[in-house]
């Protein structure tokens, strides 16, 4: 199956071509950032662009992403302990007996996030909560990059290469019964957090997630369906141009690969099966987020019994409308936990 991006046809059944498509995304993003370097942007966008350029410069100099391993696998050993052998999980140090556990699925977008952040790059607002805390991250060094990081659909590492084996490793950290166990996720893991919750449902689990990719299924993903419809538009509309971001394009690639791999729909389309479980899910979405609104609308149409939608009136800037985590971490999470 072939699709046109960047004025070129790409064969989605050819992994070598997909490798070069991934490189094209990076090259295009780099060129765009350099060309727009004089534009006034918000602080978060400036950090993103600086990190992105730094990562690509080091990648170009070394010919590998291994340069990032010392930083990515680092952590504050005064605050955290018990790092897993695959460097995907670690536990907050505490001498207090908490009755609530947060399992935090960290989400870093693109190379600049996953190759420029330590294992414990979590908001102090989360660390300082009166709870136990387990950080769960994806190994950023898994290959190929057309498939990994896999939104946790294929687990978090070569050792824990499925939802089940990932949850088995999570269970090793839990040595007592908690009153509340909260799976906290966002954006790229808005779907997989439900798959993980269903595997851990016996732990009195509940889900708190901010809006994002709620499905990774080729047939139901709103991004896939929207772009397929555009690809198949009538001849008289062929002159039209539809912009696409690297995030959207790699989502489409991964959905196609998951379909090829015949991944269980309970993992690629987990909200569709949520009524089979007694798992409360609070889904927070940005009032101004137009990029991911299709995923929010898809979840709402499923009529899920234990799903509660919450609109968050916040945006970082006029161009940054998706990321509501800074607001949720500061103003929502503490009250959410105290009112369980």
Q: Is the pLDDT of residue 295 over 80?
A: yes
Give Rg (Cα) of the chain. Answer: 20
Instruction: Sort strands 132-136 and 89-92 into parallel, antiparallel or unpaired.
Output: antiparallel
Q: Is the pLDDT of residue 239 over 70?
A: yes
| DSSP structure class, residue 132 | E
Q: Is the pLDDT of residue 41 over 70?
A: no
Helix (H, G, I), strand (E, B) or coil at 283: strand
* Residue carrying the six token digits 């732990």: 203
Task: List, for residues 189-222, the tens digit of each pLDDT value.
Answer: 999 999 999 999 999 999 999 999 999 999 999 9
Residue 164's domain is classified under what CATH number? Answer: 3.40.50
Phi-psi map region of 203: left, alpha, beta (phi>0 left; psi -120 to 50 alpha)? alpha
- 135 forms beta bridges with 90, 104
Helix (H, G, I), strand (E, B) or coil at 4: strand
Mean of the per-residue pLDDT values for the chain?
93
Half-sphere exposure for 185 (CA within 13 Å, toward CB): 26
Helix (H, G, I), strand (E, B) or coil at 285: strand
Provide the token pair at 338.
Answer: 């105290």
What dihedral angle (degrees, nearest 10) is formed by the CA atoms of 117, 123, 128, 134?
Answer: -60
Number of domains within the chain: 1
Task: List, for residues 220-234, the tens digit of each pLDDT value.
Answer: 999 999 998 888 888
Q: pLDDT grade, residue 49 (50/70/90)?
A: confident
CB 176 within 8 A of CB 152: no
Average pLDDT over residues 280-307: 96
CB 3 within 8 A of CB 231: yes
Give phi and psi for 235, each to the nearest 5.
-60, -35
Q: pLDDT grade, residue 38 (50/70/90)?
A: low
Question: What pLDDT, on the 0 to 100 scale, is given for residue 109?
Answer: 65
Helix (H, G, I), strand (E, B) or coil at 335: helix
* Residue carrying the six token digits 């730094």: 54
Highest mean pLDDT among 19-23, 37-41, 240-244: 19-23
Higher-scoring residue by pLDDT: 152, 231: 152
The percentage of the chain sitting over the pLDDT mark of 70, rounded to a whole number, equals: 97
Which of 329, 319, 269, 310 shows the shortest CA–CA distance to 290? 319
Whole-prediction pTM:
0.94
Provide the token pair at 314.
Answer: 């916040």
Cβ neighbours, 10 Å, residue 331:
12
Helix (H, G, I), strand (E, B) or coil at 105: strand
Integer Cα distance of 195 and 274 in angstroms: 9
Q: Is the pLDDT of residue 11 over 80?
A: yes
Range of the domain at 145: 2-338
Q: Is the pLDDT of residue 43 over 80?
A: no
Average pLDDT over residues 295-305: 96
Helix (H, G, I), strand (E, B) or coil at 198: helix
∠ at Cα 143 (139, 149), nearest 5°?
45
Integer Cα distance of 105 and 186 in angstroms: 8
Helix (H, G, I), strand (E, B) or coil at 261: coil
């Amino acid at each position: 199956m072939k699709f046109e991006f960047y004025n070129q046809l790409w064969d989605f059944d050819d992994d070598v071509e997909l490798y070069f498509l991934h490189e094209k995304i990076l090259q295009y993003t780099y060129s765009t950032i350099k060309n727009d370097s004089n534009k006034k942007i918000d602080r978060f966008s400036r950090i993103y662009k600086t990190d992105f350029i730094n990562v690509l410069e080091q990648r170009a100099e070394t010919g590998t992403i291994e340069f990032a391993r010392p930083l990515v696998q680092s952590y504050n050993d005064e605050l955290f302990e018990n790092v897993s052998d695959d460097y995907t999980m670690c536990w907050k140090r505490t001498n207090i007996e908490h009755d609530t556990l947060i399992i935090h699925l960290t989400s870093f977008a693109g190379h600049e996030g996953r190759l420029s952040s330590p294992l414990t790059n979590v908001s102090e607002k989360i660390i300082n909560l009166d709870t136990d805390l387990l950080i769960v991250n994806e190994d950023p060094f898994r290959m190929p990059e057309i498939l990994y990081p896999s939104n946790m659909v294929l687990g978090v590492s070569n050792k824990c290469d499925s939802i089940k084996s990932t949850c088995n490793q999570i269970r090793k950290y839990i040595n007592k019964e908690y009153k509340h166990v909260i799976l906290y996720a966002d954006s790229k893991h808005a779907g997989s957090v439900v798959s993980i919750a269903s595997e851990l449902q016996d732990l009195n689990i509940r889900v708190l997630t901010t809006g994002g990719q709620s499905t990774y299924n080729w047939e139901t993903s709103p991004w896939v369906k929207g772009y397929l419809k555009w690809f198949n538009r009538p001849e008289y509309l062929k002159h039209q141009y539809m912009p696409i971001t690297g995030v959207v394009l790699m989502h489409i690639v991964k959905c196609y690969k998951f379909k090829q791999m015949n991944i269980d729909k309970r993992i690629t389309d987990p909200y569709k099966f949520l009524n089979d479980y007694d798992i409360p899910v609070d889904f927070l979405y940005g009032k101004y987020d137009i990029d991911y609104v299709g995923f929010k609308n898809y979840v709402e149409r499923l009529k899920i019994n234990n799903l509660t939608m919450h609109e968050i009136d916040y945006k970082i800037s006029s161009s940054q409308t998706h990321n509501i985590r800074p607001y949720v971490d500061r103003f929502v999470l503490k009250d959410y936990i105290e009112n369980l």
